[in-house]
Structure 1
Amino acid sequence: MGTKTGTQVDVVSMQKKKRFWRRLWQQRFLYAMSVPFIIWVFVFNYLPIWGWTMAFQDFKPGLSFFEQEWVGFTHFQALFSDSYFYLVLRNTFIMAVMGLVIGFTVPIIFALLINEVRQQFFKRSVQTIAYLPHFVSWVVVAGIVIRSLSVEDGIVNTILLSLHIIDEPIQFMTKGPLFWWIVTFADLWKEMGWNSIIFLAAMTGVNQELYDAAKTDGAGRIRQMWHVTLPGIRSVIIVLLILSVGNLMSIGFEKQLLLGNPMVADYSEVLELYALNYGIGLFRFSYGTAISIFNSVIAIVLLFSANYFFKKISQESVM
């Protein structure tokens, strides 16, 4: 009996191997197409992890890897003992949370509204106009924002003065707490249309019969959006939200660098800009690497925490 069972297991195993190799051969062109992307990910995402060793060295350019002086966690100790680091961490966290809350919910609302438009020409026109800012450089966007908020002839101050909401122009770009809102809404204007694309694509997959049943029950357009459309794209929303939480601290530095100025420096400095200025800018490569490692570790912790949380409450996850 034991020999017969072992033979059956061997036969099943051989059949599985044959199916695997047959499927591999049938899809050989798809696998071949994926090879360049695998190489790209390895070269630009995994190979640079070797550079993390710099954070534990007193790195000096020109010396080989084995000639570098190892200093352990000295740079991390310097990082966590720097009071300015915590100011930068505060700015990064606040702008990241504001960007997540506003930059994630508004594209969903925009997609819901666009999905309800029945006039195709108007719908496509609005979509095209909303997508265009995504392709505009942050240099141009920053120029538009600064010009719009100018105290001399900025459109925002002009409108507020004409409506008698204010008595004198507001110097938006010199007020620290306002800087967070300026960055958040500038980013929203630039990326709202682009970020709504995936939600619009998901909405096209919602079963039309559900809308017909909702209409039969007397549901209006708003109730259909709430009870049919949103539940229909719930999986997409949760997966994207988990990924967004994982990238919470990786908000870049272009917006802050271009829109910031010395008068709002205490509100505009973020972790990546801090690494650029106090790491690479001062030739403290090991210190800058320590900042990047800290940022990456926080991102991993946030990703796994968000994935665990949503898996518990909704059975949705990305891993």
Structure 2
Amino acid sequence: MANKQLHKKATQDSLLKDLIKYRWIYILALPGLLYLLVFKYVPMYGVTVAFKDYSSRLGILQSPWVGMKHFMRLFASRDFAILLKNTLFLNVYKIAVMTPLAMVFALCLNAIRNVYTKRIMQTISYFPHFLSWVVISGITFQLFSPYSGTLNQILIKLGMQPMTFLSSPKSFKTMLVVFGAWKELGWASIIYLAALSGINTELYEAAQIDGASKLRKTWHITMPALIPTMVTLLLIDIGRIMSVGFEQVYVYLNPILYEKGDVFATYVYRVGLGQGKFSYTTAVELFNTMIGLVLLVVANKISKRLTEESLW
């Protein structure tokens, strides 16, 4: 018993010393921790609305409990299968395109030896990231609008039929992924560029002496060095797999495209705020979040077993 108390006191003393030693680091982290507490954790109490028949007159505390009623309503809804399929497919599509594309783009940028050319290319590729989806949608509508769009005007002058790029259910998901790649490709390549800068140059020099070609160096040195970064980013993307960017989908969505383009985020906005069904849409969003959490945990375990890389 005495040994336990001594061990506990030693642990407390060690913790206190660490707090004093690294006090400025903790002070710097304090605003971020307060932000998470106030805006992320405290509002989580509102999740209880998913298990109640919420009334603005009664408030959250006084609204009656209904258990799993809203979840059962969601699972029985015709929209459920459409929303789940669209959300998963669109995100998997984006990850499948963006992951290799960002890596290849980073390799291409890294291969540029002229510093000024490299900086110009990086600036051009990063710039779209800072544009809102409202601006991006305005640009794309000017280009791809069925009759007034620049591309379709060219097709009409060539005697061809205009193409409905943005209003066709068949091409809607592909166009979203293409626009997303154009907007985020440069930004997504930053972490890969950082990983490339950390590779030991002596490995390339040794490979050069052995007569290895550029392709061999890339395959046997560069790619293995990028795999841990790729796995980490992939796991983060899987964690967000159910949260398609609301703005990206919403600015292009219309009733014709609901069956192919409607996702959980846009459905929650339309039904929750548009129709005032707060309890039901809270249940929808809670289900959406839990599925994302489960996918992240499963993917993390698979990654840890196969590649020994994981988030925890």
Aligned residue runs from structure 1 range 103-114, under 5 A: 103-114=98-109
User: What's the CA shift for 1:158?
Assistant: 5.5
1:183 correspondence with 2:176: yes
How far did residue 35 of structure 1 move? Answer: 1.2
Offset at residue 20 of structure 1 (A): 3.4
Pair 1:146 & 2:133 matched: no
Q: Is the 8 A contact 1:280 1:288 kept in 2?
A: no
Alpha-carbon distance in 1 for matches of 2:246, 2:34: 27
- Which residues in structure 2 correspond to 1:152-301 (within 5 Å)? 152=147, 154-157=149-152, 167-301=160-294
| Residues 18-47 of structure 1: per-residue CA shift (max 9 Å, x gap) | 443323212101111111111111122212
CA contact (8 A) 1:91 1:268 kept: yes
Q: 1 CA distance for matches of 2:59 and 2:79?
A: 32
Alignment counterpart, residue 90 of structure 2, candidates 67, 91, 95: 95
Deviations 1:165-209 (A, max 9, x none): x93221212210200001111111111101111111111111111
Q: Give the equivalent residue in structure 2 for 1:85.
A: 80
Q: Do 2:54 and 2:63's aligned partners in 1 also have CA atoms closer than 8 Å?
A: yes
Could you tell me which residue of structure 1 aligns to residue 42 of structure 2?
A: 47
Q: Secondary structure at the match of 2:102?
A: helix
- Paired residue for 1:74? 69
Tell me, what secondary structure is at the counterpart of 1:59? coil
Deviation at 1:147, TM superposition (A): 1.5
Query: What is the alpha-carbon distance in structure 2 between the residues aligned to residue 160 and residue 306 of structure 1?
Result: 45
Matched to 2:106, the amino acid is A
Q: For residue 125 of structure 1, what is the amino acid of its counterpart?
A: I
Structure 2 counterpart of 1:191, which letter?
E
CA–CA distance in 2 between the matches of 1:206 and 1:13? 43
Q: How many residues in Structure 1 have an aligned counterpart in Structure 2?
A: 312
Contact 2:99–2:230 (CA under 8 A) maintained in structure 1: no
Name the structure 2 match of 1:58. 53
TM-score (norm 2): 0.93
User: What is the Cα deviation at residue 159 of structure 1?
Assistant: 6.2
Distance in 2 of aligned mates of 1:180 and 1:81: 26
Matched, 1:121 2:116: yes
Q: Which runs of 5+ in 1 are unaligned?
A: none
Moved more, 152-161 or 107-116: 152-161
State the match for 1:131 in structure 2.
126
Higher mean C-alpha deviation, range 38-47 or range 185-194: 38-47
How many angstroms apart in 2 are the aligned matches of 1:67 and 1:43?
A: 23
Instruction: Give, in angstroms, the shift of residue 78 of structure 1.
Output: 0.8
Query: 16-25 or 116-125: which moved more?
Result: 16-25
**What do the CA deviations read for 1:129-169 (whole angstroms, capped 9, x no partner)?**
0000000111010111122112335344466678x7x9322
Amino acid at match of 1:140: V
Q: Which residue identity is paired with 1:247?
A: R
